[in-house]
Chains A and B, each alone.
Chain A
Amino acid sequence: MAYSEKVIDHYNNPRNVGSLDKSDPNVGTGMVGAPECGDVMKLQIKVDPVTGIIEDAKFKTFGCGSAIASSSLATEWLKGKTVSEAEQIKNTEIVSELALPPVKVHCSVLAEDAIKAAINDYKVKSGMVPGSGAKETVHA
């Protein structure tokens, strides 16, 4: 499969790889996918509680090059956005930015899901929305 230059660049130089402290109240963690499906993304955001701006974002991804690139790109886009701006990121924007072929669209969907899951986790932790309990479930 031929990859776009941008996918290759993100694969070779992934941005914002790593983990934030899950127990930090200002950190939201989203983990989506499943090992049996061949892709799992963990995406974390750290939000400034005063301004509501995402000051840091980190990811770790098990998956193909396009999945790695989608999540790497997502962290780039998240940084500096407010939570409500971040909620507007659409998988189709990731598809066009990375020139993903149709068979790789699901990678961008997963990245969007990861963003949503991370934001939701942050909101639950900061009491903005009611949580569903502390059970460690991976959403998809």
Chain B
Amino acid sequence: MKKIIALILTLTLLLALTACGASGSTTSTAETTQAATAADGKGTSIAADGSVITNYDKATVQTDKELPKFRILVLYNSFTDKLGSQYKSSMEYIAEPLNIDFTFLETGSSGDEAMAAIEAALVSGYDGCIGTVASEARAALFDKAGVPYVVCGGMPSDETQAKAMASYENYLGSVVVDDYAAGYAMAEALYADGCRNVMWDGLSRGYSGQHDARAAGFADGFASHDDMKLIVENWDYTQWADGIATAAATYPELDGVGCTCLMANIYNTIESEGLVGQVQLAGIDVSEGTGRAFENGSLSYIAGGNYACEQICFAVLYNYLLDGTRVIADPTVNLTLNNINLSSLEDYNNYIKYLDSAVPAYTAQEILDMTHYVDESFNAEKMTELCKAYSLEDVIARHADLVQ
């Protein structure tokens, strides 16, 4: 018996290593990178002389002076999920032209573990840090280390915490997407598609300020229509797909679902339960299945492009590192970035083309344009306006000549 098992083990290992050897790359928990050009196979072609041409090779900046080198620590739970990989690739894109050494540190979901990993990393010496956790402990940690810290996609839980964090000199502020507006837009999109008996499928209350903001926006959205009713709510940690299946089975009149996070299994559930054409979806986070959902008409609206938050955070940090400019005037007030709103298959295809390809939401030059290097008058007010201008149309207009 043990010989058979040993044989199976050996064959499995051989197969796995052989099959994966060419494609897999070891992901370490801390990774330093400088490369950023579009060397990922997207838009590459071979010239007649054999040289490799990248159609998207615009990862350069125009500047008459050498940019200083900075070492930036980037923190996230895991850089292998969709959002994490987008955070990472958007930073990698600008690393070389802006002369930045990024270190990507996965902190997991455990607070103690994360703090230990960050403390260990800070020993190496960094000029700045972008993280996703807004807590006084983190602000204090980075302040003690003398490392400027900006928060991406996270916000202080309340005003008291916001003030406490702002009291630390090295806390630069927090950049978040407009979750409330996304939630409101979800309700409006469902209403526009004729949904009158809707469901909210979201994260348990209190877990996350962003998710609570989405729920609040959705609630205000449907409340603004007298003939739209919230007939069922599911507040859960992860069982959103099952919640929709159950709601559809027990509430036959259900015709729309607002979901805080549209994962792939939710699209699967809509199809497997035979709800296409019966229940419309609206939600957040573009994922596998989004295009298919737009094609079969089951998706009314989705908000995406959140990863641009990371680039804006970098711009905030970069401004400070260059000459001490603070483009978040009041760290107790979050800098809010618009969502990318998608309502059709055309929108989705444009999103993939302009925001999920080799060129991220902001190029290195565009980020440099947000600093006194290029614009002496750039300030917090201009940064706020720039964030409010962020949209699919904005990105298309800026990158029409970059993406083919």
To the question of whether A and B form a pair in one complex, the answer is no
Could you tell me which A residues sit within 8 Å of B by CB distance? none
Could you tell me which B residues sit within 8 Å of A by CB distance? none
